[in-house]
Structures are given as C-alpha cells and as structure tokens.
Amino acid sequence: MVSSALFEPTKIGAIQLKHRVVMAPMSRLRATDSHVPSELMVEHYKQRATNGGLIISDGALVSEFAGNIPNAPGLFTQEMVDGWKKITDVVHAKGGIMFAQIWHVGRGTSSALMPNNILPLAPSAIAIPGKNDYGMDWEVPHPMTLDEIQRTINEYANAAKNAIKAGFDGVEIHGAFGYIIDQFTNSSSNTRTDQYGGSIENRARFALEVVSEVAKAVGDEKTSIRFSPWSDYQGMKDDTPYETWGYIIDQLRQKHPKLAYIHMVEPRMDLGSDDGNLATEDTLNPFRAKWPGAFISAGGYTYSAKAALAVADATGNLISFGRNFTSNPDLVKRLENDWPLTKYDRSTFYGGGAKGYTDFSNYTASTSV
C-alpha cells in the first residue's frame, strides 16, 4: 500500500471526504439529443464512485443560450434534473460525493446550434483564432449587452438550484479553458470599455458576480469554481495571469471564505496533448498561498502518479484526475496499491456509446496493461 496524504481524509465546505483523489469534470457527450443524462452516464458514474470520494460531473449547460453543444448534458429543465438524480443516487449509494460542474461555452459554439440561430455570446466581438472542428473559421460572436450579462448570471444561479434539486452535494462553476467566464477574465478575449472590461478588476467582475449569485442560491459551502490561468485553449491568453487570478482569489477569500474549494489547472496541462513533458517555470503556488480552504490541483497527473503523490504530500491539496479516470474506473485503488494503469483511448472521448466509456475493467493481474 502506498502511504501518502492523497489517501488521507479532508473536508470541502462542510463535507467530509475519505481521500483526496478527485474525478475531474470531463465532457464525454453521452447525454441524449435533448441534453438529458443517459442511462449510459448512470453506469459510467456508478463504476467510478468511491466511498468518501469526490466526483465532479460533466459540464452541464446552464441554459439554452449556453452553447447547445450536441449531447452535452444540461441543468435547465425538469427532465434534465430527473436524469441527473439517477446519477447522484447511484453515486451516493456507494458513499460518494458529487458536485455538478455548471457551464456556459460563450463564443465556443456556432449560430447553427444556438436558439433561432443567434450568434454565440461573448464579452467582445472577437472570434476564436483558427478553425473549428468542422474546418471552418470560428464565428465572430455577439458582444453581450448588460441585460444579457445579468441574464447569464441568473442562469448560473438557476442551474445551481437545479443541481441541488437533482441531488448534487454542491456545484463547481466552470471558469476555465476558454469558456465564457474565462473569456471575460482574459485580456485577449475581452476588450470591453464598460464595467466588465479593461482593468483586472473589471474583467474579473463577471466571474465574481457569478460566484456571488450561485453562493446566494445554494450557499458558500456548496459553491466552488475552476480556473486555468495558463491555458491557451480556444485562444486564451492573459497579459498578467498572476495578478489577474491573484486578484480574483483575494476577492473570493474576502467575500466568500467558506467556498467548498478552488480548483485550478497546473500550467503544464495541455488538453490536446498526450505528451507528459510539458516543462514550465510557472506554478500555482502563489494561488495556493492565497487560498486558506480546500484547493484542488489538476493537470499533468495523467502522465505521473508520482507527481500527484508529491504535490499532495507537499501541499495537502486534493488532486483531480481526468483521462486516467476514464480508463481506470478503480483508479483510487490502483493508485493506493501502485497497480499499473490502463491506457485511455482518445478516439472514444467525445460522443458515442459504451466503447471507451463504460467498458473498462477493474484491475486484476491478468488485465494489467
């Protein structure tokens, strides 16, 4: 058995966990065409639930205006709530804890998917650089009006309330990887000249207002947020990441010190890479030092379990795993016993059926890879 802080108890908000291995939020696009969680998703999460372990769900769209990504789950109708309830029930039956990640993609979609074919919403009329998945230029999004900004903030709060109705233990606001909160925060995607653009304080305003409304809706101890200061996914780049996210965390510490946790992505993380050699001099340590509560570190642990153990032992952080949780439903036991990990299959990540989603086996000596 491996001895590490990774397998020691900790708390998030008022919730006691029995270990610090977290299943990261992963979009796997297995919901129905109407964004209702499927029976396949029920089985997927059931397989990966552990006694006293935290699972963070697929990103759940907060409204029909949140991007309408095909087969992504949502949290804005009763049918969606009912679908998620089946999942939280099976997770809780195994003693697990589950937070819903609530998500708005902003400019990362297409007018062909939006209600009445309206343009995607964003802080500014700046398209994502390059081509989309269909080989076409990304559309220039519609810069949001103040009324649209307020509506979106309210949609996050409504989705959070629906998450609690669906049996989730809390919510994680998706503020990372180039989606709408990240678009407001980054200087490369936000050129507004009103109270939501320009200075760090103004660009951070949207994220902080979303947190405040969600916390008002479900309570600070059931609210959390995820950030990725160095991710360049979907054209993200900020001129001053330490100052920008340092300011946000300072504000959260002052206004919402009882948040369940802050979840941050290590600078070495690359969503599109299978290469573990992502050297960087940047570090989450300044942000860890600012936040007194539970802190989840993500990114790069696919390639090195030893790195996860080292970070947990050095910092006391929880560690979230994504790709390896996909292919190793018994990941916690494998890490604790130093058993070999099964390699994931990237070609099955997004959409499809059971293959690469619910057909991975628990460890036995004969199935090790």
Residues 6+ apart with CB under 8 A from 351: 28, 29, 30, 70, 71
Are the beta carbons of 290 and 250 closer than 8 angstroms? yes
Smallest Cα–Cα separation from 221: which of 309, 326, 99? Answer: 99
Spot the catalytic one: 45, 134, 156, 179: 179
Are the beta carbons of 299 and 229 closer than 8 angstroms? no
Are the beta carbons of 343 and 314 closer than 8 angstroms? no
In whole angstroms, give the CA distance from residue 312 to residue 105: 31
Smallest Cα–Cα separation from 173: which of 234, 104, 232, 228? Answer: 104
* Structure-block tokens of residue 178: 């180039």
Cβ-count burial of 157 within 10 angstroms (0-12 exposed, 13-18 middle, 19+ buried)? buried
60 has which bridge partners?
102
In whole angstroms, give the CA distance from residue 162 to residue 99: 12
Q: Does the annotation count 344 as an active-site position?
A: no
In which element (H, E) is residue 206 found? helix 205-218
DSSP labels, 110-122: -TTTSGGGPPPEE
Q: What's the angle, vertex CA 316, arms to CA 231 and CA 55, rounded to 5?
A: 65
In which element (H, E) is residue 81 found? helix 78-93
Catalytic residues: 179
